[in-house]
Chains A and B, each alone.
Chain A
Amino acid sequence: MFRFLLRRLALTVPTFLALMFVTFMMIRMVPGDPIEVRRGERGISPERLAELRHEMGLDQPIWKQFVDYVWGLAHGDFGVSIITKNPVLQEFLTLFPATVELSVCALLFAVIIGIPAGVIAASRRGGVYDQSLMGLALTGYSMPIFWWGLILILLVSNTLGWTPVSGRVDLIKYYYPSVTGFMLIDSLLSGEKGAFADAVRHLILPTIVLGTVPLAVIARMTRSSMLEVLEEDYVRTARAKGLAPYRVIGIHALRNALIPVVTVIGLSVGSLLAGAVLTETIFSWPGVGKWLIESIGRRDYPALQGGILLISSIVIVVNLLVDLTYGLINPRIRHAR
């Protein structure tokens, strides 16, 4: 087991190094210049441009910039945003809780609805429930989520007025300091009446939008995994022994069926972050996804580089953890390649 762990860890190191190099080069290949972008209609004289580029170290050869960057990284320094002049790590850390909060809620939403839906569908295989649930799941899986978000805003917020359109909490009614960065927790800590409920109201639509695709994937996965398990001998035996169906399904089958589902949930972290980019853009959610998109637009090299590096590292680490857990649960995986 320990060797397996070491091996997997060792494999992530070159990936990470390559990631650092490739993103660095790619970002510098993007046409445009961070100084030019912020000048708008006024433009800038070539002399002044050269001067500013020099001050930011943009006139150095690329390899020198890269070495400097890696050197900084080795010291935990992700550089400073060209636009705001704040340390990139600090910007990332202030925005990251918002993304985590949204992603965790979306994942919970997907799991809480997806697993029961999959179980019901599997237990009524071929029936009306199965077909309609799986039809819905496939629809969710096929959803263009940017459109889904806009439609929900249009119907639920604009027409019915049930939920707010954007933001994380009503700023007029509630004012409390950001302690953890997680609005749900902060609103509870603040002790302000109604703040928590308000934060929840703000979360509903983004959660649904971001959770839709994972929900569909989980429901489909649970169903097929359940079907497979239900065919296995021990389940048949349990059934033959006359155990109540809910015991068969709920205890014997589900426990085993969930193993691949858990893997899928773990592996969906990457796609969840990709979905967060669109969701945050639509709902003006102050998270890292929206920040990354804006950084591309502003050619904010350090922010973009640091952001991609941090997010990708998280994806790599989560995938590694999923691999390890899976290896723990299922020893056969350890030796397979």
Chain B
Amino acid sequence: MPVDVSLPAITRPTAPPSPLLSFWRSFRENRGAVLGLAVVSIVILVAIFANFLAPHDPFEQYRGFTKLPPIWVDGGSWTYPLGTDALGRDMLSRLMYGSRISLFIGLSVMAVSMVVGVVLGLAAGWFGGVVDVIILRIMDLIMSIPSLVLAILIVAIIGPNLTNTIVAVTVVYLPRYVRLVRASALTELSKDYVTAAKVSGVGPWRLMFVTVLPNCLPPLIVQAALGVSDAILEAAALGFLGLGAQPPTPEWGSMLADSRDLITSHPWVMALPGIAILITVLAINLMGDGLRDALDPRLRKS
């Protein structure tokens, strides 16, 4: 939970006694957000402890037991609670290990775009002029190509694997972070406290990262939370098109793509990874909504 971890770092000039406590109070009011948080926590726990929780090795192919249905369907068995895939691998175990991959992708994309986005956004806001124009034009350029097409093109160039998926998705989502940071930085830079700090001789680095940045954080945190879910979706779409993690990695998107030919004969194999994606993304989004409302009521708009 990067969000919680980074929160204490916020030091507002006019901070209330305990920002964390007041944040939690307003977050708690939102039942959806709490539910989201609970589900996200479970997914994280499953991801961390997948090797203890999973009933089987996710790569072991039980040759005589392929394409078994889940337990609640006729023919299901408790040995493989969610059934098996086309090669007889246990679905539940694969989904559990898959949560590691999806979360890893989501968090990595978020972390990298945060760092790069903050640097570029602050640079654009601080230097203005040519730097600003160049950075903004590049972001416009990225945004004018349909996101998935751009991601596919990038993966096609650097080759399909997990790391490159992260690179491609990061590039595609970078403009949002840059624009957000730039916009908030511009707002903050025009405020009196910044002028005061400038006058009192605070250096530019200190001014940007210590004075201005913390005040841009709330919208950025919200964007980061939603960015995780967007990244998971985009990476799954790449996996679905066969451009994500390579076999036998149990990535949800590619699990779905691999079982596409079973849609009529064994629909469960195809349905389950999609449900896992949907639940995870939905939970993160619920949590993100709650975060937004709790952190900054002004942001309720979008």
Contacts and interface: CB of A to CB of B under 8 A. Distances in A.
Please tell me whether chains A and B touch each other in their complex, using a CB distance cut-off of 8 A: yes
Interface of A: 11, 14-15, 18-19, 22-23, 26-27, 29-31, 131, 135, 138-139, 141-144, 146-148, 150-151, 153-154, 158, 220-221, 224-225, 227-228, 260, 270-271, 273-278, 281, 289, 292-293, 296, 308, 311-312, 315-316, 319, 337
B274 A147 contact: yes
A144 B274 contact: yes
A30 B153 CA distance: 8
Interface string B221-237: 00000000100010011
B229 to A, nearest CB: 7
Q: In this complex, which of B146, B147, B229 has the most chain A Cβ atoms within 10 angstroms of its Cβ?
A: B146
A227 B140 CA distance: 31
Given A143-B278, A220-B302, A221-B301, 6 more contacts: A22-B141, A31-B159, A138-B32, A146-B240, A227-B300, A270-B143
A200 B157 CA distance: 39
Contacts of B141: 15, 18-19, 22
B285 interface: yes
Contacts of A15: 137, 140-141, 144
Interface residues of B, number: 45
B192 to A, nearest CB: 20
Contacts of B253: 144
A147 B282 contact: no
A151 B271 contact: yes
Contact of B153 (A27, A316, A337): A27
Contact of B267 (A23, A154, A260, A316): A154
Given A30-B156, A144-B237, A260-B301, A19 B145 contact: yes
Interface of B: 32, 137-138, 140-141, 143-149, 152-154, 156-157, 159, 186, 229, 233, 236-237, 240-241, 253, 256, 260, 263-264, 267, 270-271, 273-274, 277-278, 281-282, 285-286, 289, 300-302
Contacts of B282: 138-139, 142
A224 B300 contact: yes
A154 B301 contact: no
Contacts of A27: 153
Nearest to A260: B301
B144 A270 contact: yes
21 contacts: A22-B141, A27-B153, A138-B285, A138-B289, A141-B285, A142-B278, A142-B282, A142-B285, A144-B236, A144-B281, A146-B236, A147-B240, A148-B274, A150-B260, A158-B264, A228-B301, A270-B147, A277-B148, A308-B149, A311-B146, A337-B186
A312 B144 contact: yes
Contact of B156 (A273, A281, A296, A316): A296
A273 B148 CA distance: 9
B146 A154 contact: no
B146 A277 contact: yes
A58 to B, nearest CB: 17
B157 A26 contact: yes
Contact of B146 (A131, A148, A150, A315): A315
B137 A18 contact: yes
Given A138-B289, A142-B278, A221 B302 contact: yes
B263 A150 contact: yes
